[in-house]
Amino acid sequence: MGTSSIVKTEENKAIIRRFYEEVWNNGRLELVDELVSPVFVNHGFGSEEGDDREAFKHTISRVRDELKFRQPIEELTAEGDTVVARVSGHGETGGKGSRREGIDGMGAIIWKLRNRQITERWACWQPAAGE
């Protein structure tokens, strides 16, 4: 792998790290238009509402708001335009006047990037034992 390939791979990992830290975990949805391509396609979890960038933004907002869900990165690996993230997920169900219950699990997400933007996402989620 040449130096430019290594730099590109590291840049792509930094974009995904920024996505999780700033968008998903801190709710900065205004960054979605910067980090996610207009031709983005979502596969897997969250695509039930639509598979484009706007639907993805709505899914992030809804899941964050309803479940207070956060996804810390446990591991990032990459090669070229592909980044794989292993994340833990933590949230809670229930609302005002009802018992809150924790939801936990692990996800494996494959991200594709082009021109420093996320173009595709494939997500697989495994709830924690007993969930």
Domains of the chain: 3-127 (3.10.450.50)
For the stretch 8-50, pLDDT in tens is: 999 999 999 999 999 999 999 999 999 999 999 999 776 677 7
Beta bridge partners of 114: 117
List the beta strands (DSSP E) in the chain: 36-44, 73-79, 82-93, 101-114, 117-127
Measured distance CA(80)–CA(74) in Å, rounded: 20
Q: pTM for this one? A: 0.87
What is the end-to-end Cα distance of the chain in Å, rounded? 42
